[in-house]
């Protein structure tokens, strides 16, 4: 069977996991042929724990030049994602980037243009798109079963991170190292699913706390109000300092509401739409009759999460299968994230689809310049070791 020869750039937490699983042949149509990390101790780990056929490099340029490769996964700190993906295209390779696509949309836009010109496949590790629960919710909304969306509320406070987590690397939770906090590190999946399911908001007004109950300089507590083109509104709340946390997505529409919690879907389906009820009801107090219906998602595929994205990407290369998570769509969730930051920094409503990218970069650079946290350690962001 023909296989896609894959290389992993960055052997941090995620890169290590990807390398081990691909090397074990979990994805039948992928062969791990090379890994790369600037740190010698991670290269030594690879030599000791991966198959002898896997080539190990300390320079990504050398790996992409010399190793037998068809594609790479970029699993490095956030700022390096666009540059390394574009390097892969320059070498004629297909590429997947870990989330987020980058730190600021201007760099990601450049990466997307490079992908378009390269003629190569470009994916992003939005592994939550393989979750049958969220896929089912997307299907229900797309089918019109819910009617027009009125409100979207996502409370996701179960991204708990202790101070020791932040202390584990000098690049963590710094403007220079990560470019942000919970929005850039933990929530890219949620922001992607938000737009994937409900569409892009046209306005964001966000309020953030930086270093809330933690000795860090970036945001770890966010409350954002959203507006949508059809007049619907939304609320997105997240943090890394609350425990036990909550992960609850609630979407209200003309024909009821959908609640996703504990990996279960409940559809509160009204007998008639609210618009029709409002136009015909003459009894004063009252509301439409509804049924509480548990929704069973489709059976999970053989490979889900990260390996599901890898399997889909390999199938796209070998068989022309549509990509589940096209890399070009990484700019959408990042646009929401950038809009939230810019809104908090300026005190204004921001349209994610019409960001002032120059102003965002200017304000981000000001925060990097003013940073006093972990300055002696932040140079590790130039490394290719990526962790989440």
Detail the DSSP E strand segments found in the chain.
4-9, 30-36, 55-57, 71-74, 94-97, 122-124, 149-156, 203-210, 219-227, 233-239, 247-253, 256-261, 264-270, 290-295
Q: Is the pLDDT of residue 381 over 80?
A: no
Q: Span 186-206, mean pLDDT?
A: 97
Mean pLDDT, all residues of the chain:
94
Q: Is the pLDDT of residue 219 over 80?
A: yes
Q: Is the pLDDT of residue 211 over 80?
A: yes
Q: Span 286-294, mean pLDDT?
A: 96
196 SS3 class: helix
Quick one: pLDDT at residue 207?
A: 98
Domains defined for the chain, CATH in brackets: 4-127+303-326 (3.40.50.720), 129-299+332-371 (3.30.360.10)
d(CA 226, CA 155): 13
Q: What pLDDT digit, counting tens, does each position of 39-86 carry?
A: 999 999 999 999 999 999 999 999 999 999 999 999 999 999 999 999
Quick one: pLDDT at residue 388?
A: 47
Q: Is the pLDDT of residue 208 over 50?
A: yes
Name the least confident of 1-5, 110-114, 351-355. Answer: 1-5
Q: Span 248-259, mean pLDDT?
A: 98
- Rounded to 10 deg, the angle between the 13-23 and 40-49 helix axes is 20
């Amino acid at each position: 069977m023909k296989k896609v020869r894959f290389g992993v750039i960055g052997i941090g937490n995620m890169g290590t996991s990807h390398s081990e699983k691909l090397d074990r042949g979990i994805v039948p149509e992928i062969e791990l042929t090379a890994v790369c990390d600037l740190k010698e101790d991670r290269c030594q780990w690879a030599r000791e724990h991966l198959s002898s056929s896997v080539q190990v490099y300390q320079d990504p340029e050398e790996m992409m030049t010399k190793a037998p490769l068809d594609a790479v996964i970029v699993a490095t700190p956030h700022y390096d994602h666009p540059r390394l993906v574009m390097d892969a295209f320059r070498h004629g390779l297909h590429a997947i980037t870990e989330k987020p696509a980058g730190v600021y949309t201007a760099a990601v836009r450049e990466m997307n243009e490079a992908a378009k010109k390269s003629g190569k496949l470009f994916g992003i590790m939005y592994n939550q798109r393989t979750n049958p629960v969220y896929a089912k919710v997307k299907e229900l909304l797309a089918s019109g079963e819910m009617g027009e969306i009125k409100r979207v509320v996502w409370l996701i406070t179960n991204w708990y991170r202790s101070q020791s987590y932040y202390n584990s690397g000098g690049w963590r939770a710094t403007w220079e190292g990560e470019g942000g906090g919970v929005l850039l590190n933990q929530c890219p999946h949620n922001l992607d699913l938000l737009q994937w399911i409900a569409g892009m908001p046209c306005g964001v007004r966000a309020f953030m706390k930086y270093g809330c109950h933690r000795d860090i300089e970036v945001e770890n507590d966010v409350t954002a109000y959203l507006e949508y083109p059809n007049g619907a509104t939304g609320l997105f709340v997240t943090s890394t300092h609350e425990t036990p946390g909550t992960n609850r997505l609630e979407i209200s529409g003309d024909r009821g509401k959908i609640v996703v919690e504990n990996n279960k879907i409940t559809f509160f389906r009204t007998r008639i739409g609210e618009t029709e009820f409002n136009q015909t009801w003459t009894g004063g107090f009252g509301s439409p009759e509804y049924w509480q219906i548990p929704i069973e998602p489709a059976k999970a595929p053989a490979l889900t999460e990260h390996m599901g994205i890898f399997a889909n990407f390999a199938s796209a290369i070998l068989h022309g299968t549509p990509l589940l998570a096209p890399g070009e769509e990484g700019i959408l969730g990042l646009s929401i994230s950038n809009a939230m930051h810019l809104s908090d920094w300026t005190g204004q409503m921001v349209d994610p689809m019409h960001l002032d990218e120059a102003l965002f970069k200017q304000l981000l650079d000001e925060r990097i310049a003013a940073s006093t946290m972990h300055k002696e350690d932040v140079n590790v962001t130039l490394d290719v070791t990526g962790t989440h």
